[in-house]
Amino acid sequence: MKSARLVLSIVLLSAITIALAQSGAQKPTDKVAPTEAQKSFTLLKTLAGNWEGPVTVDPPQSGMGNGTVMQLSLRVTSRGNALVHELRESGKPDDPAHHDHPVTMLYLDEDRLLLTHYCDAGNRPRMVARTSPDGKTVEFDFLDVAGGTKYGHMHHAVFTIIDANHHIAEWSFMMPGDKLVHGRMDLKRAQLLQCSKIAV
């Protein structure tokens, strides 16, 4: 009986040793290079924080004049798997039920970086990213839209990083009748703006 237990123990230890050796052999020792989508997502996550800056709208729209100051919040969430982008007009109450307060989610979907924009127009367009050769601009092209487009839908977005404290965000909105309205925000980190106001 003791010899049967000993043989069984040796067989089990041998099987475990072989299994561990095989699993170790299957693991690559070299790291896989990040995809363009992963690089772009990592770059955009460096924008996490609060931003503020004027918007330019072309052609001008009623209700939002050129020079209107916008406030933007970018927050990494879901264990680093998503970036939340929230926008609102400075000076307006923080009341998303009564004032524009669109939310955009950026996330990786296998080998693509996607953006889903939860629009105040009541729809959810999705866009897919491509990165500029210099790696400082991430451009999102329209993929599809869920929900009605009676009032139009967001159609294109571009994020250009100037430096750690300055970036440009450009959005294109497709109005009914396929007329594009372009918005451009020149954004600076909010805490830097506060510090410069205190220093004056």
- Structural domains of the chain, with CATH: 36-199 (2.40.128.20)
Neighbours of 159 (CB within 10 A): 24
DSSP result, 110-171: TTEEEEEEE-TTS-EEEEEEEE-TTSSEEEEEEEEEES--TT-EEEEEEEEEEETTEEEEEE
The confidence score (pLDDT) of residue 95 equals 56
Q: Return per-residue pLDDT of the chain as tens, 200 residues.
A: 555 554 445 544 454 545 445 555 445 556 889 999 999 999 999 999 999 999 999 998 876 678 899 999 999 999 999 999 999 888 765 655 544 679 999 999 999 999 999 999 999 999 999 988 888 999 999 999 999 999 999 999 999 999 999 999 999 999 999 999 999 999 999 975 554 444 44
Nearest to 115 by CA among 97, 129, 135: 129
Tokens representing 27? 């693991």
pLDDT the model gives residue 123: 96
Token pair in block for residue 70? 């916008």
The pLDDT assigned to 72 comes to 95
Q: Which residues pair with 87 in a beta bridge?
A: 72
pLDDT of residue 90: 83
pLDDT at 188: 97
Q: Which residues contact 178 (CB under 8 A, 6 or more apart)?
A: none
Q: Which of 168, 197, 196 is nearest to 183 (CA)?
A: 168
pTM value? 0.78
Buried b (16+ CB within 10 A) or exposed e, 38-57: eebbebbeebebbbbbebeb
